[in-house]
Amino acid sequence: MSTEGDEATKTICPYCGVGCGIKVNQGDDPGDVNFMPWGEAPVNEGRVCIKGGAATQVVDHEDRLTEPLIKEDGEFREATWEEAYSRIVSEMEGIRDDHGPDAMGFFGSSKTMNEENYLLQKLARRYGTNNVDNCTRMCHASTVWALRTSLGAGAMTNSMEDLEESADVFWIQGANPGEQHPIANSQYFRQAVLEGATVIQVDPHANKTTRSFEIGETERHMHLQVNPGADIPLLNVVLKTILERHEAEPDAGWIDEGFIEERTEGFDDLKETLEEFDKEAAAEEAGVPLEDIERAAEKYAMANNAAVFTGMGMSQHTCGVDNVQNEINLALITGNLGKPGTGVNPLRGQNNVQGTSDVGAMPNVLPGYQLVDDPEVRESVEEVWGFEVPAEPGLTNVEISHEAGHSVKGLYVMGENPVMSEPDGNEVEERLESLEFMVAQDIFMTETAEFADVVLPATTWAERSGTVTNTDRRVQRMRGVEKVHENTKHDLDILMEVGSRLFGEDAGFRFDDVEAVFEELREVCPIYHGMTYDGLGEEGLHWPCYEEGDEGDQFLYEDSFDTESGLGQIEGVRHQPPKEVPDEEYPLILTTARLEEHYNTGTMSRRSPTLSRQHPENFVDVHPNDAEAYGIEDGDTVRLRSRRGEIEVNAQVTEDIKEGVVWTTPHFAAASANRLTNDVLDERAKIPEYKAAAADIAVTVSDGGESADRADPEDNAEPADD
């Protein structure tokens, strides 16, 4: 604990994946927890965004869960921990006995620490199922799949530091770091632009990233405002342009022939895919002038070092794996991998979404991305754990939700809010209602916890210690202050108790402290094996770190790729339209994204006075031409609907969005975009298609307490010719 006048506690911001260091000061009253800057923090050097500065506002919030709750006759009552644990163990044993272990699902949390997620996935596997997943399924599962398959590791290939120092061109596609990763944007990207780098941003929505690079020479920043779901056509134009220019100027350096020959395979497949490809038609499909795409292609290909940054605008599609594969293709054919200032770099959205996946909280891999269906992998992990690991990969979180009330009878949710985070939220509520049993372990009564049978009050990020892994693979320590509410418990302590009660005191779920858990984690996780808890210090270490004393890797693949052949995999991909496209009933494309001031499901950010000040409720961006057609004025309350539901929000008329597209956010419970989004999945990565759905919009007016649609676009259409 730190008291006023003592040195404050050094920890990591609980919001996005940049991994900024901050300090927390706790006064004489445990609830008096305040933010302080940490000037020497390795990632951010004291800088924080609006979320980081407001992070402590939730620690002693009046809505905190402070006692265990048990639901009886549809109502919650306060309970003792003994009652709560007994109910959980009894219900989980009953489900396993009656339906088998695969009737339970487990959701890890990217807002909790490596050790907690490690213990949760171990708990699931000891129970007898691989039905364990985390929110990476909702944001970057397709990125992880493509990177692991084609390069070897499902993470950023480079570090933010080496990118800022060495990259000449930043290709940012489907990401908005100006709002979603503000410190990365200001400290690394914008600084690099001031020093001469070029930014090419590909996004359907003009945003703070677009505007933050309007500095210096205008030619150093390009915004390609692509249509939602048309990233493959745009990138295929880029790739074909580079190949055509290479044919015309073979010595100009458009591609890296030596790198392609020595370090890759599949180049002929890419050329064959693009042989009959029509660039003009594809540019029209993408909604971007052909000459602009060609100019962007030249900037990337002619750079000494060019880095791709990818975000959920690329991954959250049914063709998400192919989207990211095409970015990999671009990097491989130009030799922009395996050296500083290059690579393919996913910007992770939560403070520990990278680590939660690293430690095995996924249905198909064990810690360190070791495939669960590999007998040798299972044997090595079983030797440490002392029990048999199920051989068949389990269900993903969306698949678990789809099966709720059917093959899945019970659910253990730690620090996640699937009612808000999963697509088609209305249907998610109905499925959770049909479960035989659910336990929710959280700091607030979330929209999901309302459906639970047992609710466990956990401690916040500021009260716990452990490790988290940021977006560029840096494993860092978080350090906690004193508990604010006496009867709350750390997630790790809860999991240790549940595991020991379910499987016995000698089952491997009792640990002396968080360091002891980390020691077991690194024993079974090859990429963490060389790290020690004390050795992480204040700087942290980038994985992979195989032997003690290793300093970690700033960038990956200097000599070879971690694929079976050691070669980077090039694979031509073809356009796949979204599963829903506009039609007569739903003539618009709905796409979604996050705001700088808010965070994912809003569980924390909506409770922060600072973060809620600018955007206390949701809104929808509408292009002026669509607004005129629908009779919408700026500030009107509108009904936005899809085949899955409807929400009421205020309209913001703006040219930031393209005509025919509407844009809104997932942060606000009553009007979340995820009431409308489509739960169809990428066949390989099982990620939902959040970024494109057919939608309609109408102004809502009050009439004697009832709401009604005021206008239809046909009402304002030009009269047809006779």
Q: At 614, list the tokens.
A: 């600018």
Do 514 and 466 contact (CB within 8 A), yes or no?
yes
Comparing 3-17, 155-169, 427-441, 700-714, the range with the smallest average pLDDT is 700-714
Q: What is the pLDDT of residue 217?
A: 54
pLDDT attached to residue 716: 43
**3-state helix, strand and coil shares in percent for the chain, rounded to the nearest 5:** 35, 20, 45
The percentage of residues in the chain with a pLDDT greater than 90, rounded to a whole number, is 84
Does 719 have pLDDT greater than 60? Answer: no
Q: What is the pLDDT of residue 552?
A: 86
pLDDT tens-place string over residues 186-202: 888 888 888 889 999 99
Instruction: Tell me the C-alpha distance between 152 and 528, whole Å.
Output: 16
CA distances, 437 to each of 64, 130, 404 (Å): 23, 18, 10
Q: Are 680 and 688 in contact (CB under 8 A)?
A: yes
Q: Using alpha carbons, list the distances in angstroms from residue 276 to 233, 271, 576, 580.
A: 13, 9, 17, 26
The pLDDT tens digits for 217-262 are 556 789 999 999 999 999 999 999 999 999 999 999 999 999 999 9
- What confidence score (pLDDT) does residue 361 get? 96
Phi, psi (degrees; rounded to nearest 5) at 171: -100, 105
Helix (H, G, I), strand (E, B) or coil at 26: strand
Global model pTM greater than 0.85: yes
For residue 216, the model assigns a pLDDT of 56
pLDDT higher than 80, residue 174: yes
Predicted confidence (pLDDT) per residue in 464-475, tens digit: 999 999 999 999
**Peptide bond before residue 346 is cis, with ω within 30 degrees of 0:** no
- According to DSSP, the residues that pair with 694 across neighbouring strands are 589
* DSSP type of residue 507: S
Amino acid at residue number 295: R
Percent of the chain exceeding pLDDT 70 equals: 95
Query: Which residues, other chains included, contact 406 with Cβ-Cβ below 8 Å and sequence gap of 6+?
Result: none
Burial class from Cβ neighbours inside 10 Å (0-12, 13-18, 19+) for residue 560 reads: middle
Output the DSSP codes for 48-97: --HHHHTGGGGTT-TT---S-EEEETTEEEE--HHHHHHHHHHHHHHHHH
Rounded Cα distance between 241 and 173, Å, is 18
What is the distance between the alpha carbons of residues 435 and 73, in angstroms, rounded to a whole number?
A: 15
Q: How far, in Å, CA of 180 to CA of 186, rounded?
A: 12
73 exposed, middle or buried (CB, 10 Å; 0-12, 13-18, 19+)? Answer: exposed
Q: Quick one: DSSP state of residue 548?
A: T
Asked if residue 647 lies in contact with residue 618, where contact means CB atoms within 8 angstroms, the answer is yes
Scanning the structure block, which residue is given the tokens 């452990």? 466
Q: What is the pLDDT of residue 24?
A: 96
Is 168 in contact with 197 (CB distance < 8 Å)? yes
Residues in the chain: 722
Distance, in Å, from the CA atom of 362 to the CA atom of 364, rounded to the nearest integer, reads 6
**Rounded Cα distance, 529 and 515, in Å:** 14
* Structural domains present in the chain: 9-58 (2.20.25.90), 69-138+359-532 (3.40.50.740), 141-346 (3.40.228.10), 588-716 (2.40.40.20)
Query: Distance (Å, rounded) from C-alpha 659 to C-alpha 718?
Result: 17
Phi then psi for residue 351, to 5 deg, are -65, -25
* Cβ atoms 675, 649 nearer than 8 A: no
Two structure tokens written together for 539? 């700087």
Angle at 198 between CA 194 and CA 199, to 5 degrees: 105
Give the 3-state secondary structure of residue 184: helix
**What does the DSSP assignment read for 319-345?**
THHHHHHHHHHHHHHTT-SSSTT-SEE
Instruction: Flag whether pLDDT at 661 surpasses 90.
Output: yes
- What letter represents residue 287's amino acid? G
Report whether pLDDT(715) > 80.
Answer: no
Residue with tokens 């703070």: 208
